[in-house]
Structure 1
Amino acid sequence: MGWQSTTKSDPERQVEKYLTDKISNLGGLPWKFTSPGTAGVPDRIIIMNGLICFVELKRPRGGRISDMQQWRIEQLRKQGMKAYVIKNKEEVDYLVEHMMKGNLPE
């Protein structure tokens, strides 16, 4: 058995690339979100059409957020932010469709 990466799985990476490509191609900003010293922050800040949301990406099958990630998402939501866990291309399309109409899904 070969070396196994402890970073994002290929399916998760594919969904992330799909998201970033789609947002970028539409003129949006799919910024990578890192916050040294603050664990559990979402993977991406998406800025498009005057809207901002946070996205945590997980692999389509079996991907689950940690307790810390859930807590960070709840913190963001308490501040009036929209934060999503996205696991597949259909969920990306749903988010983008709403953003193109000038709103964010509930």
Structure 2
Amino acid sequence: MEEKRIEQKLVRMTSRLGGVALKFISPGCAGVPDRLVLMPGGKAAFVEVKAPGRKPRPLQIRRISQLRRLGFQVFVVDGTDQIEEVLQKIGGDA
């Protein structure tokens, strides 16, 4: 399964729960996660989407660590079967 299809399913499932999965682009700040997931009740997390079996690049790992040190939840998803659990952890009732 392509990364794009996993990302599309994340967006759809987030929307069904009343949230949004915004494409996160930060010019001048490489390695940021693909999506900022915002859920009802003010809950938020970053999600990096990878193709099945793929791992984040070293720069992405550093950025994920930085965000986690700042207190943010950051998830790496490489399959559609992980989306429901991630959304539950963020605060949705997937």
- Note if 1:58 corresponds to 2:58: no
Pick one of 53, 57, 74 that aligns with 1:83: 74
Q: 1:30 & 1:100 partners in 2: Cα distance?
A: 12
Deviations 1:38-67 (A, max 9, x none): 110000000002211000000013x12111
Could you state the TM-score of these two structures normalised by the residue count of structure 2? 0.90
Q: Percent identity?
A: 36
Where 1:100 maps in the other structure, the secondary structure is: coil
Alpha-carbon distance in structure 2 between the residues aligned to 1:96 and 1:72: 21
TM-score of the superposition, structure 1-length normalised?
0.80
Note the C-alpha offset of 1:97. Answer: 2.8
Q: CA RMSD in A?
A: 1.2
Residues in 1 aligned to 2:17 and 2:72: alpha-carbon distance in whole angstroms? 22
Give the distance between the partners of 2:61 and 2:88, measured in 1 at CA.
25
Q: Unaligned regions of 5+ residues in structure 2, if any?
A: none
Residue type of the partner of 2:23? K
Give how far 1:100 is off: 2.0
| Larger RCO of the pair (alpha carbons < 8 Å, separation 6+) | 2
**Cα separation, 2, equivalents of 1:65 and 1:100:** 25
How many correspondences in the alignment?
91
Larger Cα-atom Rg:
1
Distance in 2, Cα, partners of 1:33 & 1:77: 16
Picking from 8, 23, 33, the partner of 1:32 is: 23
